[in-house]
Structure 1
């Protein structure tokens, strides 16, 4: 790896790793408005939410949203580096995956007052073929008045800026003929609505000039959390009476807004787990995961 692609020296890494163990606690209220908005965005025909309506799995991502002042935002639309998350000096950051569990005896419901306690679990450096990679793992615990409801580990990856002619990881093919399938057209309206619901100012999802000219991607990037939510939603559509008690997923390849993509799910013989994956219009794997059902 050339010096031109390395931006993290030993002193910088030591500083970033000093964030391990930091905690943050936020409070929020599970209100009905965001639930109605996401239901419409996912093209669902749900009954209007009311007090006591159980929050669908992953829909807690509609809450505990960062509300930084406009003057606190960086050039990519995110908050400037620092604060709870370490100030990683790498320009590209993506949601790499996560692992979640839900307590079937204590789901989050509309009307709950909730608290999320977060902890930086690890800050890990890897030397990739195109430069430095830094992985930050955050653990969240979400509680309501009845106790712990959701536990989540969230993986964030930071990367160097794209360079002309840099090597691209080889794509991975996927299995054909899943039991449950759905095609999604990720137009800029869908991406805008999800960005608005999650108060996500990251310009890679709505600013075509920025994402193509600054970050070097061919189109707007579909949110990783949106794809994950759609994968779990596919399972919910085909197993509406099951309770999702666990989900782990990994983002493999970016999905862009230029073509439809496909969601796939294959339940196990005993019906307790469902393997899920997303593929782009060329058939390459973009996200994979497993859903555990109660």
Structure 2
């Protein structure tokens, strides 16, 4: 069942506009976009650098926020009483209560229109753009798509537009931990990373994301049926955008990201990149060489 919501949800993110900050559905079955203001602070940007083990003093007020770091501006100050049972806060927009106990990030896409200066005030407009309930071989599920626009104060147009797709599922994870034969990862460029508990905690803290599958090992194992803490889908995206920025020296213009399998704390991840005409294909493989995430990226030519 497809539920139509506000199609033209993008509104000018002025601070004087009346907005519905509750995220509740209106009587006409549409969701009002939520507008909130943030500061892209120097301290927060330097904490991202510290998390990535980069020199913090290299970032100063007025610098362009590196592409991919705008996740700092996507969180929300959800009260503990407003959290889902799994701890997910609803980043920017409360997730509709459809009775599904599990939530996963299916993918995201982003477009960079202009730089966000470190220290600038920004306005973020967020809204549910589609909600679909359906069934497949595994049972009922729902797909919720949320659109975001980030605009720098004083600028007429958005600096970043992003769409996130969340998958809502019932019951326990059906993840199969059976032993898989190792598969070789072949690509023009590769890099190996191993996300540990500290990295998962710091990323979750910086985005104010309290989803328990990323920070509570007993919950991830005993309630959701995973073998260990799950690497944040957004963190996987950040690892790929950082791979593109620092190792490949690419200036991203846009990307489309799809998460196809979970990645786990303490296990090797292989980042891989191939160049096809004017587009880059970036992928993340798990410790067995199985594809876990794939990104198609367009870049600005120097």
Q: Normalization by structure 2: what TM-score?
A: 0.82
Residues 1:284 and 2:290 are matched in the alignment: yes
- In structure 2, the partner of 1:108 is 116
Structure 2 unpaired stretches of 5+:
6-23
User: Comparing 181-190 with 36-45, which one deviates more in the overlay?
Assistant: 36-45
Give the Cα separation in 1 of the matches to 2:82 and 2:175: 34
User: In the superposition, relative to structure 1, how do residues 95 and 114 fare at CA in structure 2: closer, same or farther (>3 Å)?
Assistant: same
Give the Cα separation in 2 of the matches to 1:273 and 1:232: 14
Query: How many residues in Structure 1 have an aligned counterpart in Structure 2?
Result: 276
User: Which of 95, 98, 117 is 2:125 aligned to?
Assistant: 117
User: In the superposition, relative to structure 1, how do residues 159 and 206 fare at CA in structure 2: closer, same or farther (>3 Å)?
Assistant: same
CA RMSD of aligned residues (A): 3.0
Aligned 8 A contact 1:42 1:230 in 2: no
- In structure 2, the partner of 1:214 is 223
Structure 2 counterpart SS, 1:156: strand
Deviation string, structure 1 residues 92-121 (Cα, Å, up to 9, x no partner) = 101111111111xx2111121111111211
User: In the superposition, relative to structure 1, how do residues 134 and 206 fare at CA in structure 2: closer, same or farther (>3 Å)?
Assistant: same
- In structure 2, the partner of 1:184 is 193
- In structure 2, the partner of 1:259 is 267
* Shift in Å, 1:283: 0.7
Aligned 8 A contact 1:28 1:64 in 2: no
* Shift in Å, 1:155: 0.6
- In structure 2, the partner of 1:127 is 135
User: Which of 242, 251, 266 is 1:243 aligned to?
Assistant: 251
Aligned 8 A contact 2:185 2:289 in 1: no
* Shift in Å, 1:258: 4.1
Give the Cα separation in 2 of the matches to 1:232 and 1:221: 19
User: Comparing 15-24 with 129-138, which one deviates more in the overlay?
Assistant: 15-24
Aligned 8 A contact 2:89 2:209 in 1: no
- Map of 1:51-62 to 2, 5 A cutoff? 51-62=61-72
User: Comparing 64-73 with 230-239, which one deviates more in the overlay?
Assistant: 64-73
Structure 2 counterpart SS, 1:191: helix
User: Which of 175, 179, 203 is 1:194 aligned to?
Assistant: 203
- In structure 2, the partner of 1:141 is 149
Aligned 8 A contact 1:23 1:118 in 2: yes
- In structure 2, the partner of 1:40 is 50
User: In the superposition, relative to structure 1, how do residues 149 and 175 fare at CA in structure 2: closer, same or farther (>3 Å)?
Assistant: farther
User: Which of 38, 42, 55 is 1:28 aligned to?
Assistant: 38
* Shift in Å, 1:29: 0.8
Q: Normalization by structure 1: what TM-score?
A: 0.84
Structure 1 unpaired stretches of 5+:
1-9
Aligned 8 A contact 1:204 1:211 in 2: yes
